[in-house]
Amino acid sequence: MAIEFKLPELGENIEGGDVVSILVAVGDTVKEGEGLLEIEAGKASMEIPSPATGTINAIHISPGDTIKIGQLAFTIESGAAAPAPKAELKKEAKAKPAPEPKEAPAEADVPAPVEKEETPESSAPAVAPASIEKAVSAAPNVRRLARELGLEIRAVVPSTEGGRINLEDVKQFAKSNMGGGSGTGSASRSSGGVHVEKMSAIRKATLKHMTHCWTTIPHVTQQDWADISRLNVLRKQFGKKAEVQGAKLTVTAILVKVVASALKVFPNFNCSIDPDKMEIIHKDFCNIGIAVDTPKGLMVPVIRDADQKNMIELAQDLGSIAAKTREGKIGLSDLQGGTFTITNLGGIGGTFFTPIVNSPEVAILGVGRAVEENGKLRMPLSLSYDHRIIDGADGARFLRWIVEALEEPLLLALEG
């Protein structure tokens, strides 16, 4: 029995991902639960298991492809039927290569629609009938690249015998026509070359999410200095106790504890809003997201139940999730469920900045590099918040509470 294996649901609001690697080949025998492919989705890497035991009959995707939920990925021969001989499988694979997943069959062999210019209709240049009739064989992502570079795809010469235009053909055409007037957009007007890089799954997720956050949340950012001279002395003094338990008592770990305590005092910072229903959703839990800089881009793993842990436990969690994130071993569940985010750029440098609120959260704390002034160690803090739910006075009180808790650690025991 042939099973068409389609990409299953990966998580909430995840529509698909990028194929990192294919872990099997045509003719391989796989067991139920054995990995078929590795995929990057929603900033996390994951291995997708086989739904049944059987033989791989066909692979419909390739490394680097973007695959959507429900898209056909593998055909698996399952059941009692014996697998075909390897020689026959190889012959079949050679005779009938797997189709390219990114092309809709109907689109491959018909002319691409002529897109209207953004100029008045009366001034738009006429298109010769011959150019309309000329069929262009190119996948949707190839056509999209040509449009983004301002190129007429019908002018691109294919490099393959079948006459199919690929991404490399478009790139080479763009390079060879710089300044030559063959293109219609910015690429042809450029005085230098271009190179095109496909966005990673993490970058695409960041693009989509940050655009949503910035365009839907009215941001306000307030800034203040915290004198952490005394705190730094205590941190070094008690840091050895944390080291004994395999943790490092960093300023970020202390900030997680301070913020978790502040959220109890100011619960309107630990909520989200539903503007359609005009409702405020209060969170009875406290999960602090920590922005982590990785080679693949920004990721925000979450420390769960931060309000129920002491500083050493928080330091342990922080070290663990930071390591997993940088090594690319973070799971999708580790990136979800945050109620407040901390982003610390102190290790890189800089002072104040404007962090973007991580929707559906309503606030984020940005931390810059501490500087010594007049014998004091002062740390810059930037608090951004959603002005639909948090007023300026509340923002000022919240930030001042954090500053005072850092300057007088006893406040955590008194009010936190």
60 is catalytic: no
Query: Smallest Cα–Cα separation from 74: which of 46, 94, 95, 99?
Result: 99
Q: What is the 3-state secondary structure (H, E, C) of the chain?
A: CEEEEECCCCCCCCCEEEEEEECCCCCCEECCCCEEEEEEECCEEEEEECCCCEEEEEECCCCCCEEECCCEEEEEEECCCCCCCHHHHHHHHHHCCCCCCCCCHHHHCCCCCCCCCCCCHHHCCCCCHHHHHCCCEECHHHHHHHHHCCCCHHHCCCCCCCCEECHHHHHHHHHHCCCCCCCCCHHHHCCCCCCCCCCCHHHHHHHHHHHHHHHHCCEEEEEEEEECHHHHHHHHHHHHHHHHCCCCCCHHHHHHHHHHHHHHHCHHHCEEEECCCCEEEECCCCCEEECEEECCEEECCEECCHHHCCHHHHHHHHHHHHHHHHCCCCCHHHHCCCCEEEEECCCCCCCCCCCCCCCCCCEEEEECCCEEECCEEEEEEEEEEECCCCCHHHHHHHHHHHHHHHHCCHHHHHHC
Active-site residue, selected from the candidate residues 60, 195, 212, 387: 387
Alpha carbons 327 and 323: distance in angstroms, whole number: 6
Asked whether the beta carbons of 194 and 146 are under 8 A apart, the reply is no
Active-site residues, by number, are: 387
